[in-house]
Amino acid sequence: MDNYILSFITWLPALGAILILALMKKDQSSLIKRFATVWFGLDFLLSLWLLRYNRGMGGMQFLEDYQWIPIIGARYQMGVDGVAVLLIVLTTLLGWIASLSSWEYIQKREKEYYVLLLLLQTAVIGVFSSMDLFLFYLFFEVSLVPMYFLIGIWGGENRLYAAIKFFLYTLVGSVVMLLGVLKMYFLTQDTALTSQITQETVRLLAGNDAAVQMVTNSLQTAVGNGTGTFNILYMQALGSVLPMGTLQILLFVAFALGFAIKVPMFPFHTWLPDAHVEAPTAGSVILAGILLKLGTYGFFRFNLPMFPAASRDQSTWVTSFGTFGVRSVVVFLAIVSIIYGALAAMYFVVKKDGDVKKLVAYSSVSSMGMVMLGLFALNPNGVNGGVMQMINHGIYSGALFLLVGIIYERRHTRNVAEFGGLSHVMPGYAALFLGMVMTAIGLPLLAVFISEFLALRGSFEANPYWAAWAALGIILNAGYFLWLYQRMFFGNIDNPKNETLRDMNVREWVYMVPLMILSLWIGVYPKPFLEYIHQPVNAIVKQVRPDYVIPGTAAPAQTERAER
């Protein structure tokens, strides 16, 4: 089972899409949506198998390795580490929730809709489980297409503009990334460079013997065929011997641009609010919950380990403002994203008739800035926090979009000015919304607190001022989210249209409650989740900063006592 589970999980949704296309008629919408939801549920249950990931051993597991395109050295290689495991499970969960939440929202072309949703699922899971850069890139690009149609067909009034903007913007980024991918591929054929790669580096990155074996195999095949290799681990190992210089920085930038647009980081974020506002609820959930993570996951999987020297570079450019380098730029943009996103989100409550969805979209910019800050803190706390923030942002922003969708289905508006006093008529909805707002502003014992604490702690270790600036964004977060809550739920009902709103129904409870439970769970007892990512995160930190001592792994004399 372990040897083909990843392919199962990846391709099952695609199979479902084919089944729907082949067996169901257009007008059997109720059958289609039930079938799709069950299918998503099946995929989710299947993905739970991945939780058997051996946390003590770490590294890449559930490996698959098949010949694919020998002529360029591309192989069908799959494998996941703890980070990818969590992201995949989150994806399958949100996929199921997205399809369940669409039952009433989507009223036209259900067949195509669910087919696209399933295809999107395949592409996204593929991204997280690829071990071959070529395969990764393929999935990465393909994931654009279903989303494009989801926005373009089932979106709001301005859907075409938003869909094309989304598509082209991300495409530009990924095409630039393609340059980097190709260059990396050619570099794997550079024997002067590759001969310096030590077995320890490979071992560190792969994490276990099986993965090391896979790297060795694909390398041997590649050499035998006279091609390069797209094996991600090998490319990461290559990064450790890549000399620091223009080439490495350019490569970093090529990859970073593609991912930064996906994240999205300031100033590449403007596609996001448009895409979110126009997308149907499920589209927003997948977009915020999963697709944004492709960017940060890319930084984690590629930029950090493949270009370690550039990642930790703080001194390439000497200016009159002081010296700064690649890392300084990324961190600066991350902090700007945090504060800028929060302020822009605040605009939608300051404004009389703000769009709730836009607010949540901009708050995502802020939140993803926190992920980037954590990742580029380049220490275990920070990276742990960044990775956890990916998961948590998936939970809370997905939930908030769902909640906005619920009220939109009833009132067909997302204008803050239309609401007020909803607590009176929808107490259950109000309670859930409060729970998610509190998650979003990082209340302790809820999920986001854990990740923000770790990310900020890590960035404090890197530079106290970073943490101080980023923490400012958290005050702003509290400001606009509470204000939003006040405007929507407190006060009297002064709009007669709101008087007859019904509270959440069973279906809505069914898909909201798991997210709330997850938020509480991660907040109260995050240990199981953190255990999945400890080993991969430590490996990345070690790769970027070989001098960082991680007590308990390789303990030199310097190590201090560990706490109980």
User: Interface residues for another protein in 335-364 (CB under 8 A)?
Assistant: 340, 343-344, 346-348, 350-351
224 or 500, CB closer to another protein?
224
| Candidate residues 8, 68, 453, 521; the one interacting with another protein per rule CB under 8 A | 453
**Token digits for 175?**
């095409």
- Do 287 and 147 touch, CB atoms closer than 8 A? yes
Torsions phi, psi for 484 (to 5 deg): -55, -45
The whole-angstrom separation of Cα 91 and Cα 122 is 10
25 or 561, CB closer to another protein?
561
Select from 30-38, 292-300, 393-401, 470-478 the region that touches another protein (CB under 8 A). 470-478
Site for another protein in 225-244 (CB under 8 A): 225-227
Site for another protein in 511-540 (CB under 8 A): 525-527, 530-531, 534, 537-538
| Candidate residues 46, 197, 329, 471; the one interacting with another protein per rule CB under 8 A | 471
The answer to whether residue 282 forms part of the interface with another protein (CB under 8 A) is no
What is the sign of the dihedral through the CA atoms of 35, 504, 280 and 522? negative
**Token digits for 193?**
């460079």
Type of residue found at 252 = F
The answer to whether residue 486 forms part of the interface with another protein (CB under 8 A) is yes
The answer to whether residue 564 forms part of the interface with another protein (CB under 8 A) is yes
CA dihedral 186, 220, 192, 313 (to 10 degrees): 60
The answer to whether residue 450 forms part of the interface with another protein (CB under 8 A) is yes
Site for another protein in 135-154 (CB under 8 A): 148-149, 152-153
What is the sign of the dihedral through the CA atoms of 124, 125, 131 and 135? negative
Report the nearest approach of another protein to the CB of residue 344 (Å).
5
- Do 267 and 198 touch, CB atoms closer than 8 A? no
The answer to whether residue 247 forms part of the interface with another protein (CB under 8 A) is no
Lay out the site mask for another protein across 407-426 (x = CB under 8 A, - = otherwise): --------------x-xx--
Report the nearest approach of another protein to the CB of residue 274 (Å).
8
The answer to whether residue 171 forms part of the interface with another protein (CB under 8 A) is yes
Smallest CA-to-CA distance from 270 within 331, 346, 332, 337 is with 337
The answer to whether residue 546 forms part of the interface with another protein (CB under 8 A) is no
**Token digits for 225?**
């065929």
* Angle, CA of 196, 198 and 201, to the nearest 5°: 125
Report the nearest approach of another protein to the CB of residue 454 (Å).
5
Q: For residue 265, give the DSSP letter.
A: P
| Candidate residues 331, 474, 488, 539; the one interacting with another protein per rule CB under 8 A | 474
Site for another protein in 58-87 (CB under 8 A): 71-72
Smallest CA-to-CA distance from 306 within 235, 213, 389 is with 235
The answer to whether residue 193 forms part of the interface with another protein (CB under 8 A) is no
Tell me the Cα Rg of the chain: 23
